[in-house]
Amino acid sequence: MLMNKNETTLETHRVYPDLTLNILTRKEHSISRKQISENALKVLYRLQGAGFEAYLVGGGVRDLLLGETPKDFDIATNATPEQIRQLFRNCRLIGRRFRLAHVMFGRDIIEVATFRGHHQDSNTQVSVKSEAGMLLRDNVYGSIDEDAERRDFTINAMYYDISDYSIHDYAGGVEDLDERLIRLIGDPEKRYREDPVRMLRAVRFAVKLDFDIEEETAAPIENLAPLLQSIPAARLYEESLKMLQSGYGLETYHQMREYNLFQQMFPVISAHFTEDYSSPTEQMLDLALDSTDMRLESGKRINPAFMYAAILWYPVVHLADSLMEMEDLCYHDAVMEAGNRVLDQMVKTIAIPRRHTTTIREIWQMQLRFLRRHGKRAFRLLDINKFRAGFDFLVMRGQIEGGETQKLAEWWDTFQSAGRKMQQGMINNLGRAGTRSAKLYRSRKPVPKKKKQGNPPS
């Protein structure tokens, strides 16, 4: 990947004085403007034309050097967010913790960030840290050199200069690309404390790129993993989608679990973990995430609600069994109550949106309704909007549970593709077995009536 390096030592006042700047000329790298989004080029050239520095940065540069097509093209500049907004009518400013500019071209959004600086004053309007060292507000602006030091990983600290088509590599990112390593810039423990989500990013990049996490970068993760509990639930929801619904969910889950990260994000689920990965909860995790990966690989759409419904199901069933005993509920009511409690606990860690929790409950309720097939009930279920999602989940349950659940899934598989006469015959053959489930509709224990006390005999 590299030819000759033009190496220049950075100034000694740097926070990370071991960083060196390598400038790769156009002849020394493989990136061409033809590979860069037309809208990203428009933003780069307009910023440069207005007298500002402008670079393609981060994952876009990394992926192009790896021969991949970037999902996003992010830009770094010395223009402030307000100056960027003045240049682009189609711009909006977002973020409080990190102030960013989004330049919008229809559905295509080019993210533009101002160079980050170091925290050298106590101005709470631009910079706030928690007692544990976590950055709560971070709108300190600086130079490109400081911005490079503020980047998380070496492979994300490379800048493509549109003015001469060179690449500015500040932290040995090109070398780490060659060696397929994920390496943090600076002291790993300090960087993780500044933003614990960097631990998740390390795992995500390692899985996505098929890289190894460098030894010193990996060492503190397991012990510092509980820091994730201080991250806002809304942010962890977005991170959970990146981790588990990016096409590498199964491998990412296993890596997260190895580093004690999954346990922090999903305590409701991790309570059911075993040493040999044999519990129904763990089997469902493998099955659901593998299914999600295959759907993404084949270009099919996915719904986060389905994944959450699947991986939370057995914790719900376990709690429902307890509620049946402790509160003497029938199975149907116990599952619905357990589902509410599990979701209430889950959203404290990961803020699953209400539109998804509603769908999750519908998928769970379908599992109970599949048992009721007599009369016109089976025909009515076929017309329900969530039938397919509920059925797909029933099939997965059948693979794990076998027995009656698997037979039920096979019955519904045949029923939905059969002709009307055959469907009616299948219902008639059910007899009384298809009318109700004793477990599903078990009544509460009758309360013994008190004997009427009449007048005592004279």
Q: Which of 63, 138, 147, 152 is flagged as catalytic? A: 152
Q: Dihedral, CA atoms, 356, 362, 366, 368, nearest 10 degrees?
A: 110
Q: Is residue 111 within 8 Å of residue 101, measured between CB atoms?
A: yes
The answer for residues whose C-beta is within 8 angstroms of residue 274's C-beta and 6 or more apart is: 282
Q: Is residue 191 within 8 Å of residue 152, measured between CB atoms?
A: yes
The reply to whether 147 belongs to the active site is no
Q: Which of 72, 212, 286, 392 is flagged as catalytic? A: 72
Distance of CA 179 to the CA centre of its chain: 27
How many CA atoms lie less than 13 Å away from 334 in the CB half-sphere? 23
Q: Is residue 26 within 8 Å of residue 44, measured between CB atoms?
A: no
Token pair listed for 132: 């544990």
Distance of CA 156 to the CA centre of its chain: 20
The reply to whether 145 belongs to the active site is no
| Cα-based distances in Å from 417 to 323, 374, 382, 420 | 37, 18, 11, 9
Distance CA 57, CA 157 (A): 7
Q: Which amino acid makes up residue 106?
A: G
The answer for residues whose C-beta is within 8 angstroms of residue 75's C-beta and 6 or more apart is: 40, 43, 44, 47, 54, 55, 56, 57, 110, 111, 112, 113
- Long-range (24+ apart) CB contacts under 8 A made by 368-371 are 368/331, 368/332, 368/335, 368/440, 370/394, 370/408, 370/412, 371/408, 371/437, 371/440
Q: Which residues in 16-42 are b (16+ Cβ under 10 Å) and which e?
A: eeebebbbbeeebbebeeeebbebbbe
Q: Is residue 363 within 8 Å of residue 371, measured between CB atoms?
A: no
The reply to whether 152 belongs to the active site is yes
Q: Find tokens 């991949």 and name the residue.
A: 68
Distance of CA 60 to the CA centre of its chain: 20
Mode of pairing for the β-strands spanning 74-77 and 108-114: parallel
Query: Residues with catalytic annotation?
Result: 72, 74, 152
